[in-house]
A and B are shown apart, each in its own frame.
Chain A
Amino acid sequence: MRALTRHRKLSAIWASEEGFKGWFSTVNHNDLGRMFLMTAFLFFLVGGLLAMLIRAQLATPHSAFAGPDIYNQIFTMHGTIMMFLFAIPTFEGLAIYLLPKMLGTRDLAFPRLTAYGYWCYVFGGAMLLVSMLLGIAPDGGWFMYPPLTGALYSKGINTDFWLIGITFVEISAIAAAVEITVSILKFRAPGMTLARMPIFGWYALITSLMILTGFPPLILGSILLEVERAFGFPFFQAELGGDSLLWQHLFWLFGHPEVYIIFLPAAGVVSTILPVMCRTSLLGYGWIVASMVALAFLSFGLWVHHMFATGIPHMGLAFFSAASTLVAIPTSVQVFAWIGTMWKGRPELHLPMLHIIGFFVTFIIGGLTGVMVAVVPFDWQAHDTAFVTAHLHYVLFGGFVFPMLAGIYYWLPHVSGRKRFFHLGELGFWLIFIGFHVTFLAMHWVGLLGQRRRISTYAPEDGWTQINLISSVGSFVLAIGIAIVMLDIILHALAQRKTRRNPWRAGTLEWAMLLPPPAYNFASLPEVTGRAPLGDDPKLANALARGEGYLGTPRNGWRETLMVDVASGRPEVLVLFPTNTQLPIAMSAVTGLFFLSLLIKVYWVTPLALAGVAALAWRWIWQGGRKNDLAPQTVRPGCDLPHSTAVDRAPGWWGSLFLLIANGTFLGSLLFGFAFLWTIAPGWPPPAWVDASAIEVGAGLLAAGTSATAIRAATRANDAGRPVLPALSIALTATLAMTFCCAALLWRTPAPTEHAYGATLFVLGSYGLFHTLLAVLMVVHLITRVLLGYTSVARRAEFPIIRLWLDYIAMIVALILLIGHMAGWFA
């Protein structure tokens, strides 16, 4: 087959629908990555505009620009948009766009999930923007501390917009994290071992794992605070056994890793671009991988350093102070590796390199002030002052925005297939760099002089006037710089100068394709033998276009790709992707309806929306099945692979595994909250304990054990070609029994509005009940599939997936029943 014929056939198979309609039905990572990045950039502009309003307000003392109520909304939305609607989605967009290309595959593991995550992000973000336009935006600061944000002190709907909108957006983050993790581990080019992975792949993998374990505490905290506000469950009310410090623990359990979740992908961009700009390879690849693992874990042991001023005992403070100083080491390892790379190579000062230098200067200053605030006595002096605001901007702007600007200019020819024509970017860089440092160096200074964060005004006699004016002038210079970069990019998009393939002479696989990339990425998948495949073989792109790799012959209209072994990259499974569908946008709209019903308190809609989500999820899963066995398919001469329905570890199994890790972290956070309130919060013991029942615990444990055993028996029966319905019926009965036991625990729980004990136990029981109902649905689904002929001895992939979920649910039900009832016995 000629290369052009192959290209036309593959394009017909992989293309999105044409025109406007295609936006809503595309599941292609090229489209969705670009849509993510464009949307995130729009939010960045809104957040930047809000920053200008903040600086306009603070430029002069006693400013009449905005009153305190509006000012509170402005700074809250600035922080919220930049953290949740710009930084994280930019990582998601970049990873979604780049990873399949860098990893040498055709799309991410779950294309429909990519689309679902994107639409959840758009709808959740739009919810927050609407609140701002209506003048009822969140106003409690981006970290929403109760009791200020409790129902007593924040009476309007403002706080609810934040709690519900952000939880909605976080679905997108979790979806993307599952997607990226599974894609990196299982959807790589054949031969791409862990040691041959592009360094950005490692960064994205570690970041995604951090999202899976870092976001659930915040999701939990948001749910608890919203339930407190809506229904009066006193999780954070000290007089009823709650504790507002619990929010701080949950928030910062998320919030500190969040800083590294933002920094690590940016560091991945630096590690990718820097060697190309220096015409060499990355120094200390192994050291960098080890240091990012260390950084990721250490970042989870730092959350209390945001709480040094809350009265925690000295030894507790010392633990977190010590751990905070420790993160400087793995960060430095990376910085020294980058310096070594520059030393080893011949740096060329292209525009991406300028932004990388901007990153070095800014981020290192931010890191040093970070070590300063990690030291408790200094933190007590600088806490809640503009010094800390300046520090975090040095870390986040320096550690994220500069590398992202470098990334934009580096991959712009890739996205557009065009050359830069007007060289406005250099001017933009210098204005951004100078404007940023004028703004935030001044802010350090005024913070040390005592200016507090979030104040809407100050008096002339405070002595901060000139410094604030300088800072505001700097911020407007910065804004002009961003505007020039934007103009440069728009002109780039309009200019008609085609770029050549691989204009930077890079070694990574994303440049081994047509520019802009076709929907299918690679006409055939490469066999990777080194860390820089394109550097090792500059003619690789032509060979792939001629179909000399894997899956070089389009067939049956299938969107085909390969799954590989995690460590060795050996091809294992043939995967057929779903085609264009509007199911993801429909499901995210119904998910949005669920959140909206909670926000405007139209609770009769809530169960309907939930049922709608369940129905669409059912349809989603149903579409993936086959009613006939598919023989192993030839993916390359001499290499036949089974289809993903005919293996034990299908993509769905891997996705479920990582979703359950996030889910388990959510439960762990809830148990931490329960233990924290019990031991630390005032107002304990509660007026009434649960009326414990040994019979219900025993029945629940028996049911949990039975469900786990029955699903195993069903799996074995299917593998042996025996009838599976008897074992599945037992599993269904056992899951129904677990449901009954969790419902009974809720029934026995003391009034949840009277004390935090009852409130926490109610949430714990509800978590168990939700999951047991999920288990019932899953078993019913499997029974229906068996009855309608969707399973066979060969088509067995669904059994291990359901087994994984039932094992998890059995485990958590046993845990919840034991903890719930034992509390009553011990009391």
Chain B
Amino acid sequence: MTDLLRILIAPLVWLAAFISVYALHGLLCALQMHGMVLGIPLERLSLVTAYGLAILMQIVLLLAVYRGWPLAPSSEFVRFVSRVTGWTGLMATIWSLLPVMMTTSC
């Protein structure tokens, strides 16, 4: 099962991050949280922070997959597939949450 988890973990974390950021966005809009921090609108800052954390998490996962942490994969096949899905998680996070940097929030 650890092999299966290794393959699935990065896309799973992407899904969790994607839904969390979407939920955060909905919450910020619903609660109408306005205000500025360091000259940046509060809702933008929150979303960009969440975006950054999501990317960071994917980078950590990718490193873990490459280093075979916490357990080494049982085969070369599992190692290869988990690396591809690791990159998928990172790229999907960067691309699908990119709108937090670019569009109006509410």
A binds B: yes
Binding site for B on A (CB under 8 A): 185, 193-195, 286-287, 289-291, 293-294, 296-298, 300-301, 304, 313-316, 318-319, 322-323, 326, 330, 566-568, 675-676, 679-680
Q: List which B83-101 residues lie within 8 A (CB) of chain A.
A: 84-85, 88, 92, 95-100
B92 and A290: CB pair below 8 A?
A: no
Q: List which B2-19 residues lie within 8 A (CB) of chain A.
A: 2-4, 7-8, 11-12, 14-15, 18-19
A291, B87: Cα distance in complex, Å: 11
Q: What residues of B have a CB within 8 angstroms of the CB of A287 in the complex?
A: 84
Q: CB within 8 A of B29: which of A193, A291, A300, A313?
A: A313
Q: Beta-carbon contacts of B1-42 to A below 8 Å, as 1s and 0s?
A: 111100110011011001101110111011100000000000
A293 and B19: CB pair below 8 A?
A: no
Tell me if B49 is interfacial: C-beta within 8 Å of chain A: no
A193 and B104: CB pair below 8 A?
A: no
| Known contacts A289-B81, A680-B26; is-contact A314 B96 (Cβ 8 Å) | no
A566 and B1: CB pair below 8 A?
A: yes
Q: List which B63-106 residues lie within 8 A (CB) of chain A.
A: 74-78, 80-81, 84-85, 88, 92, 95-100, 102-106
28 sample A-B contacts, Cβ–Cβ < 8 Å, listed by A number = A185-B1, A193-B77, A194-B3, A194-B74, A194-B77, A195-B76, A195-B77, A286-B80, A289-B7, A290-B7, A290-B84, A293-B8, A293-B88, A294-B11, A298-B92, A301-B18, A313-B104, A315-B99, A319-B97, A319-B99, A322-B97, A322-B98, A323-B95, A323-B96, A566-B4, A679-B31, A680-B26, A680-B30
A287, B27: Cα distance in complex, Å: 38
What 10 new A-B contacts, CB under 8 Å, besides A319-B97, A567-B2?
A286-B80, A286-B84, A290-B85, A293-B8, A313-B29, A318-B99, A318-B103, A319-B96, A323-B18, A566-B3
Binding site for A on B (CB under 8 A): 1-4, 7-8, 11-12, 14-15, 18-19, 21-23, 25-27, 29-31, 47, 74-78, 80-81, 84-85, 88, 92, 95-100, 102-106
A318 and B3: CB pair below 8 A?
A: no
| Known contacts A318-B99, A330-B88, A566-B3; is-contact A297 B30 (Cβ 8 Å) | no
A286, B85: Cα distance in complex, Å: 11
A301, B89: Cα distance in complex, Å: 12
The 7 closest A-B pairs by CB, nearest first: A195-B77, A297-B11, A318-B99, A290-B84, A323-B96, A567-B74, A294-B88
A316 and B88: CB pair below 8 A?
A: no
| Known contacts A286-B77, A293-B7, A680-B30; is-contact A319 B21 (Cβ 8 Å) | yes
B23 and A290: CB pair below 8 A?
A: no
Q: What residues of B have a CB within 8 angstroms of the CB of A314 in the complex?
A: 103-104
Q: What residues of A have a CB within 8 angstroms of the CB of B102 in the complex?
A: 318
A319, B100: Cα distance in complex, Å: 8
Q: CB within 8 A of A300: which of B15, B21, B30?
A: B15
A287, B81: Cα distance in complex, Å: 7
Q: What residues of A have a CB within 8 angstroms of the CB of B27 in the complex?
A: 679
Q: What residues of B have a CB within 8 angstroms of the CB of A297 in the complex?
A: 8, 11-12, 14-15, 88, 92
Whole-angstrom distance from the CB of A28 to the nearest CB of chain B? 28
| Known contacts A301-B96, A313-B105; is-contact A568 B25 (Cβ 8 Å) | no
| Known contacts A297-B12, A316-B22, A679-B26; is-contact A567 B104 (Cβ 8 Å) | no
Q: What residues of B have a CB within 8 angstroms of the CB of A194 in the complex?
A: 3-4, 74-75, 77-78
Q: What residues of A have a CB within 8 angstroms of the CB of B95 in the complex?
A: 322-323, 326
A125, B96: Cα distance in complex, Å: 39
Q: CB within 8 A of A319: which of B3, B22, B84, B104?
A: B22
For A297, the closest partner residue in chain B by CB is B11
For B27, the closest partner residue in chain A by CB is A679
Whole-angstrom distance from the CB of B52 to the nearest CB of chain A? 16
Q: CB within 8 A of B19: which of A289, A301, A680?
A: A301
B18 and A293: CB pair below 8 A?
A: no
Q: What residues of A have a CB within 8 angstroms of the CB of B85 in the complex?
A: 290, 293-294
A676, B105: Cα distance in complex, Å: 18
For A657, the closest partner residue in chain B by CB is B1
Whole-angstrom distance from the CB of A300 to the nearest CB of chain B? 6
A313, B11: Cα distance in complex, Å: 25
B15 and A313: CB pair below 8 A?
A: no
A290, B84: Cα distance in complex, Å: 6
A193, B81: Cα distance in complex, Å: 14
B3 and A315: CB pair below 8 A?
A: no
B81 and A286: CB pair below 8 A?
A: yes
Q: What residues of B have a CB within 8 angstroms of the CB of A322 in the complex?
A: 95-99
Whole-angstrom distance from the CB of B36 to the nearest CB of chain A? 19
Whole-angstrom distance from the CB of B54 to the nearest CB of chain A? 12
A21, B59: Cα distance in complex, Å: 59
For A253, the closest partner residue in chain B by CB is B19
A289, B84: Cα distance in complex, Å: 10
Q: What residues of A have a CB within 8 angstroms of the CB of B74 in the complex?
A: 193-194, 567-568
| Known contacts A567-B74, A680-B26; is-contact A315 B14 (Cβ 8 Å) | no
Q: What residues of A have a CB within 8 angstroms of the CB of B81 in the complex?
A: 286, 289-290, 293
A291, B88: Cα distance in complex, Å: 9
A193, B77: Cα distance in complex, Å: 10
Whole-angstrom distance from the CB of A111 to the nearest CB of chain B? 24
A304, B25: Cα distance in complex, Å: 14
For B88, the closest partner residue in chain A by CB is A294
Whole-angstrom distance from the CB of B28 to the nearest CB of chain A? 10
Q: What residues of A have a CB within 8 angstroms of the CB of B25 in the complex?
A: 313, 315-316, 319
For A654, the closest partner residue in chain B by CB is B1
Q: What residues of B have a CB within 8 angstroms of the CB of A567 in the complex?
A: 2-3, 74-75, 78
Whole-angstrom distance from the CB of A188 to the nearest CB of chain B? 14
A664, B76: Cα distance in complex, Å: 33
A326 and B92: CB pair below 8 A?
A: yes
For A323, the closest partner residue in chain B by CB is B96
Q: What residues of B have a CB within 8 angstroms of the CB of A315 in the complex?
A: 25, 47, 99-100, 103-106
For A285, the closest partner residue in chain B by CB is B77
Q: What residues of A have a CB within 8 angstroms of the CB of B98 in the complex?
A: 322
A195, B78: Cα distance in complex, Å: 7
